[in-house]
Structure 1
Amino acid sequence: MSVKHALSRGLELGRSVFQLGLFKPAARVAAKFRGERLRLSPPTRTVQPQCFLPARYRFYRLSVSGLAARLQSGGFRRLVGGGSPRNRTVFLAFGVGLGLIEQQLEEDKRSAALCQEIQTVFRKKKFQSPRKPFTSGYRLEDYVIGKQIGKGCNAAVYEAAAPFAPPAENEKFSLDQLDQNDTEEKKNPGTLRFSTTSSFPFAMKMMWNIGAGSSSDAILRSMSMELVPSCPQALPKEQGVIALDGHFGPVPKRLTAHPNVITVYRAFTADVPLLPGAQEEYPDVLPPRLNPMGLGSNRTLFLVMKNYPCTLRQHLEVCVPTRMQASLMLLQLLEGVDHLCRQGIAHRDLKSDNILLEFDCTGCPRLVITDFGCCLAEDFGHKLPFNSRHVNRGGNGCLMAPEVATAVPGPGITIDYSKADAWAVGTIAYELFGQPNPFYGTQGLESRSYQERHLPPLPATVPADVQLVVKLLLRRNNQKRPSARVAANMLHISLWGQRVLASLDRARMDKLLDWLLCQSAVVLLNVRGPSRSSVQAQLQRSFLSNIDLEDLRAAVRFIMYGQEHWQSVNALY
C-alpha cells in the first residue's frame, strides 16, 4: 500500500474513532462542523432532502473506500460498545477486505492505464506495405503474365508483373523485358502479353466463374468475400460502390493491413483469357469460346497480390525449421488470426496450403494468411445462424473445429467461430515442428470425436511453454480454449520474458509491467535499426500495440497452470 493510501486510511480510521463518542468535546465539535443538532432538547421534525435512490440502495451510492471506512467504523463501535464478537468480527473483516479490494482496484487502474499508454504509442505507427502505391492496373492488359504457380478448387494463380508499378523496398528485378513487351503491345494493341522473365513481383489470381454470369456487378457480388483483404484502392471508384451490396450486407468488412495477412492490391473483372496450361489443368471451367465443352462464363474476377516464393506446405516439404523459427511461425499465425478476430472475421479454411511464405532480412520465414473465399465476414460477428444443413460451415473438413463439426442445425442454433481458427492453428503447429498433422490421413483423428488424451505428443525438443499453448489450443471445449490473443501473449512472454517467468505471481503484475516498460523501450530504440523490418521486430510491435490487461492476466494464469502441471508430472517420475 502506498504512503498516500496509508495516510488516507489513517484519516478515515481517526475520524471513525472521533465519531464513536469516546471524546465528548471532540464529538460535539465534529457535530457542529457537520451541522447536526445535538440531542440536548426534544427532537423536532425537520425536512430531509430527498435522494434519488431509496434508502435500501444507499450502499450503491458509496465508493469502495467510503464503504470500507464505514464498515471499519462500525466494527470499532461494536468493539467499544460491547457488541457481540460475531458482529465485531464480521464488520472488521468486511472493512479490511474492502480496503484490500480498493487497493487492488487502484493497482488495476494503474496497470490498465499503463497498458493503454503502451498500446497508444505503438498503434500510432500503423503497418505500411513496403510497396509504393500505384494508380494504374485496373485492366488485364496492364500486366505481363507468366507461368502458373498455383491452383485450387476455385481459382488458378499466375505470376505477373507490371511496368507501371515501382519495385518494393529491397526488391531487385529487371524491367528490360517488360519495356520490350510494352513496346510490342503498342505496335499490336489489344494483344495479351506473356513473358518468361523470372522477375514477377505480383501474383494474379483468376477466379473460376461457373454460375455468377458475365456481369461485373454479379461477379463482384458473388465473389465479394475475396475482396475482404483488399486495400482501399483495389477497386476503381466507379466499381467500389458495387461491392457494398454483396454477401457482407450494407457495409462490407475490409481488413486493415497487417504483416501476417495478404493484401489485395487490385481487383477487376475481365474476359477469361487462354492462359498457359489452361487446356490441360482446368478445361471444364473455361468459357465455351475457349473450350466447346467448358461450363465457365466469359468474364471473371482477377485479384492482384504480392508474389510469395512458396506456400507453407511447400516449404515444410523440403525444409525443417529450427525450434526458434517454428515458434516464431506459430506466433505469426496467432497474430494474423487475432487480427481477423478483432475485426469480426473468421477465415474458416486455415491450412498450410493457404499460408504463403517469404524470408526476412535475417532469413526467418514470414507467414501471411491468404485465400478468403470461405471466410465469414457477415454482420453476425463470429456467430453464424445454423438453421439448415445447406448453410456453409466452411472449407477443409479435416481441420474444422469441434464446435463447428458437431453443430446440429435447428431453430435458433448458431455456430461460434470466435476460436475456430485458433484451433486450426493448433493443428498446423504439428507440421511446423516436423510432425504430421494428426487430423490428416485415413488413420488421423477426427475433430468430431477425438479425445484430448489421444493427441500425439510434440517432439521433446519443443519448449514446454509452446507445448502448453498447442495443448490448450486443441481443447475440445471452446470455452476452456484460449483465444488467439491470449495464446499469442503466452508465446510472447515465453520468448522475450524468460527472466520474468521465474518470478511471476498470479496475484501481482508489478514485475510483468516492469518488463513491459523495458520491452517497449527496447523496441522503440530499435525502430530505426537495420532489423526494424525483421519478423521478430514486427511481432514485438504487434504484441505491444494490442496489449490488454485482462488478456495478459489470462495468459499468466495459463502459464501458471502449465508450470504447476509440469511440476506435478515431474514429481511422479
Structure 2
Amino acid sequence: MSVKHALSRGLEFGRTLFQLGILKPAGRIAGKFRGERLPGSQPGRTVQPRTFLPARYRYYRRSLSGLAANLQSAAFRRLIGGGSPRNRTVFLAFGVGLSLIDQQLEEDRKSAATCREIQEIFLKKKKKTTSFERPIKPFLSGYKLEDYVIGKQIGKGCNAAVYEAAAPFAPLVANSECSLIELEQIGEESDVRASLRSPSSHRYPLAVKMMWNIGAGSSSEAILNAMSNELVPASPRALKKENRELVLSGHFGKASKRATAHPNVIRVYRAFTAEVPLLPNALEEYPAALPARLNPAGLGNNHTLFLVMKNYPCTLQQFLQVCVPDSRHGSMMLLQLLEGVDHLCKQGIAHRDLKSDNILLEFDSAGCPRLVISDFGCCLAEEHLDLKLPFTSRHAYRGGNSCLMAPEVSTAVPGPGVEIDYSKADAWALGAIGYEIFGHPNPFYGDAGLDSRTYHEKQLPPLGSNTPWNVQLVVKLLLRRNPNKRPSARVAANILHLSLWGKRALASLNPASIGKLSDWLLCHSAVVLLKSFAVSVEAELQREFLASLDLEELRTAAGFLMHEMTKVNV
C-alpha cells in the first residue's frame, strides 16, 4: 500500500467520523475550533488563529506512527477518564489500524530502498559491460562502401537487401557463433546448432543492409530524413560528426530518437550513403529497386543508405521452421524479447512491426539462443511523442504488420484529439509470437486466423501441456484485448524472471509474506555478482532483471503468479 493511499484512507475515515459526530458532540468541536475553554475542563492553550485544526487533530502534518500513537493514547485516556465506550473503541481501533498500516509502509520503504540499491549496483555494471555489443573497433574507417568486402545475399525484405560482409578494421574472431545461414530440415535442436556453425561463417562477421531508395531522392539529407527510423538502433559512432551535428556524407540532418545499447536490440555500427552497386543476384531479386543506370526498367535512385551490423546466423522464423526449443530455452527466448521491448518502451520507442522474421538469432557458448530485435523501419520514435500517435486522420501510419497489430491500434477510429497509445502494443505482438516459439501456429496468421479487431480471448487456442504454466500465463495476459488489463512488458518479464530464478521464493509466497521478496532479491543479486563476468544468455537476463528492479512492478508480477497458483491448487 502506498503512503498516499494510506493517508487518503485514514483522512477519509476521520472525516466521516467528524461528519457523523461520533468522536465528539458538535458543540465541543465548535468550541475547540474557536479556542474556547469547555465548561468543567482544565485551562488549555488557545489555538493560534492561523491553525486550521485543533491541536489534537493536527496529525495531518505528522507521520503515521505519530498519529497512531496519539490515537491510542487518546483511547486509554478516555478509558481512565470514563469516556463513552463508543469513543474509546473508535479511537483504539483507528489507532491500532494506522499503526499496522505504518508497519507495512515501513517494510515497503525498506524493500523499495533495497531494490534501488540493487538496481544502482547493476546499472553501474551494465554501463561498464558491453560484451553483448561487440562493437567495431573505433577506427576512422568504415564510412564508405569501398571499406567492405561484400559476400552473398543473406536476406531480403520489402524495402532492403542484406549481404554478408567483412572489413579489415573488424577482424575475424574464431568462436562458436556462425554468420551465414544455410539451414537444412533437421529435426534435433543440437543438429541445427551444428549446421549453423559452418567453417565459412567466420569469413564474414558483418552484414551490410542496403536500403531501396525509390522515392526519397539522392541527396544525403533527403535519404536521412526519409530513412531516419533505420538509425534508431545506431551506436554513437555510426555516423560521422561535424560541428556536433549528425551528417551523412557531409550533409547535415536530424535523426529520430536513438536507442541505447541492449543485449536484445540490434546495433548499427556504421551508416553512410553511397552509390547503389550491382550486387550479387540484384537483377534477379530486386530489379525494380535498382536505378536506371543498372536496370533501364528500374525505379530506384542512384544513392541510398547503407547500414553495417553484426552478421547473425538466422532469423527466429528460420530457426523455428527446423526446431522447437525445449521449455527452458523457449522461456528465455520469450523473456529476451520482453526485455528488449521494455528497453525500447522506456526510451519512448515503439517497434510496431514485431514478427519472427524481424528477430535475429545466434547461440551463446552454452547453446542457448540469443535473440535481438531488428528492422526499425516502421517504428515510432519521434522526439515530441511519448508512445502516443495523434490519430486525427486515417492517413496516419499505424505500423507495419497488420496481422500482429494490437486491438487498441487496429480498432482506433480517427477524430479530433484522438491518440493511439503504443505503450503495450509491442507486448501484445510478443504474446502472439509466444505461440510460434513453443511450436504452435501463430493464431493471428492465415485465412482462418483470428482478427485482432474482433477476436475474443476465449477463442485463443491452448498452448498445450508441454508449455510451462508460467509461459501460458504470460501469453494469456499479453493477449488481453483491454490494454488497461494487459501487463506491461516489464511486468510480464518479471513473471518469467520470478518463475525461472525464484522458484524457492514462489514456493513460500503468499499475500502475507510478499515482503520477503526483498530477502530473495538480496540472495539472488549476490549470486549474480559472483557470476558477473559470465557472458551467457542466462547471466545477461539475470543482470538485466536486477538492473530494472521496481518494487511495485515486481509485486504486480508476484500478484499474477499467486493468483494463478491459487487457481491451480484449487
Q: Which residue of the partner structure matches residue 422 of structure 1?
A: 427
CA contact (8 A) 1:131 1:166 kept: no
Q: Which residue of the partner structure matches residue 355 of structure 1?
A: 359
The alignment's TM-score, normalised by the length of structure 2, stands at 0.83
Residues 1:102 and 1:44: Cα distance change in structure 2 (over 3 Å)? closer
SS of 1:237's equivalent?
strand
Instruction: Determine whether 1:411 maps to 2:416.
Output: yes
Q: Which residue of the partner structure matches residue 235 of structure 1?
A: 239
Residues 1:124 and 1:376: Cα distance change in structure 2 (over 3 Å)? same
5 Å-filtered alignment, 1:424-503, equals 424-503=429-508
Deviation at 1:558, TM superposition (A): 0.5
Hey, what's the Cα distance between the residues in 1 that align with 2:504 and 2:94? 38
Deviation at 1:566, TM superposition (A): 2.2
CA contact (8 A) 1:147 1:159 kept: yes
Hey, what's the Cα distance between the residues in 1 that align with 2:462 and 2:113? 40
Q: Which residue of the partner structure matches residue 11 of structure 1?
A: none
Q: Relative to structure 2, which stretch is displaced further, 414-423 or 125-134?
A: 125-134
Residues 1:40 and 1:495: Cα distance change in structure 2 (over 3 Å)? closer
Instruction: Determine whether 1:90 maps to 2:95.
Output: no
Residues 1:41 and 1:296: Cα distance change in structure 2 (over 3 Å)? closer
Instruction: Determine whether 1:122 maps to 2:122.
Output: yes
User: Which 5+ residue runs of structure 1 have no aligned equivalent?
Assistant: 1-36, 175-195, 569-573
5 Å-filtered alignment, 1:80-229, equals 80-126=80-126, 127-128=129-130, 129-135=133-139, 136-167=141-172, 170=175, 199-229=203-233
Q: Relative to structure 2, which stretch is displaced further, 100-109 or 126-135?
A: 126-135
Residues 1:452 and 1:43: Cα distance change in structure 2 (over 3 Å)? closer
Deviation at 1:238, TM superposition (A): 2.6
> Which whole-Å deviations, capped at 9, do the CAs of 1:142-170 have from their partners, x for residues lacking one?
00011111111111111111012234584
> Which whole-Å deviations, capped at 9, do the CAs of 1:478-497 have from their partners, x for residues lacking one?
11111111111111111111
Instruction: Determine whether 1:375 maps to 2:372.
Output: no
Hey, what's the Cα distance between the residues in 1 that align with 2:116 and 2:44? 55
Deviation at 1:61, TM superposition (A): 1.5
Instruction: Determine whether 1:315 maps to 2:314.
Output: no
Hey, what's the Cα distance between the residues in 2 that align with 1:509 and 1:40? 52
5 Å-filtered alignment, 1:320-399, equals 320-378=324-382, 379-399=384-404
CA contact (8 A) 1:220 1:242 kept: no
Instruction: Determine whether 1:553 maps to 2:555.
Output: yes
Greater gyration radius: 1
Q: Relative to structure 2, which stretch is displaced further, 66-75 or 462-471?
A: 66-75
Identify the match of residue 304 of structure 1 among 302, 308, 316: 308
SS of 1:456's equivalent?
coil
Hey, what's the Cα distance between the residues in 1 that align with 2:293 and 2:535? 47
Q: Which residue of the partner structure matches residue 28 of structure 1?
A: none
CA contact (8 A) 1:402 1:447 kept: yes
CA contact (8 A) 2:178 2:362 kept: no
SS of 2:312's equivalent?
coil
Deviation at 1:377, TM superposition (A): 0.8
Q: Which amino acid aligns with 1:108?
A: D
Hey, what's the Cα distance between the residues in 1 that align with 2:363 and 2:495? 24
Residues 1:251 and 1:237: Cα distance change in structure 2 (over 3 Å)? closer
SS of 2:164's equivalent?
strand
Hey, what's the Cα distance between the residues in 2 that align with 1:493 and 1:381? 29
CA contact (8 A) 2:153 2:163 kept: yes
Deviation at 1:565, TM superposition (A): 2.3
Deviation at 1:507, TM superposition (A): 3.6
Q: Which amino acid aligns with 1:420?
A: A
> Which whole-Å deviations, capped at 9, do the CAs of 1:25-60 have from their partners, x for residues lacking one?
xxxxxxxxxxxx9x99997998x7665x63389443
Hey, what's the Cα distance between the residues in 2 that align with 1:85 and 1:538? 61
Hey, what's the Cα distance between the residues in 2 that align with 1:116 and 1:277? 54
Alignment root-mean-square deviation, CA: 2.6
Q: Relative to structure 2, which stretch is displaced further, 155-164 or 355-364?
A: 155-164
Q: Which residue of the partner structure matches residue 272 of structure 2?
A: 268
Q: Relative to structure 2, which stretch is displaced further, 456-465 or 56-65?
A: 56-65
CA contact (8 A) 1:217 1:242 kept: no
Residues 1:50 and 1:287: Cα distance change in structure 2 (over 3 Å)? farther
Deviation at 1:87, TM superposition (A): 2.1
**Sequence identity percentage:** 69
Q: Which amino acid aligns with 2:405?
A: M
Hey, what's the Cα distance between the residues in 2 that align with 1:482 and 1:45? 55
Residues 1:260 and 1:550: Cα distance change in structure 2 (over 3 Å)? same
Q: Which residue of the partner structure matches residue 18 of structure 1?
A: none
Identify the match of residue 535 of structure 1 among 534, 537, 545: 537
Q: Which amino acid aligns with 2:425?
A: A
Residues 1:198 and 1:290: Cα distance change in structure 2 (over 3 Å)? farther
Q: Which amino acid aligns with 1:235?
A: L
Q: Which residue of the partner structure matches residue 565 of structure 1?
A: 567
Q: Which amino acid aligns with 2:474?
A: V
Q: Relative to structure 2, which stretch is displaced further, 459-468 or 384-393?
A: 459-468
Hey, what's the Cα distance between the residues in 2 that align with 1:78 and 1:259? 64
Q: Which residue of the partner structure matches residue 28 of structure 2?
A: none
Residues 1:90 and 1:404: Cα distance change in structure 2 (over 3 Å)? same
Residues 1:335 and 1:43: Cα distance change in structure 2 (over 3 Å)? closer
Q: Which residue of the partner structure matches residue 182 of structure 1?
A: none
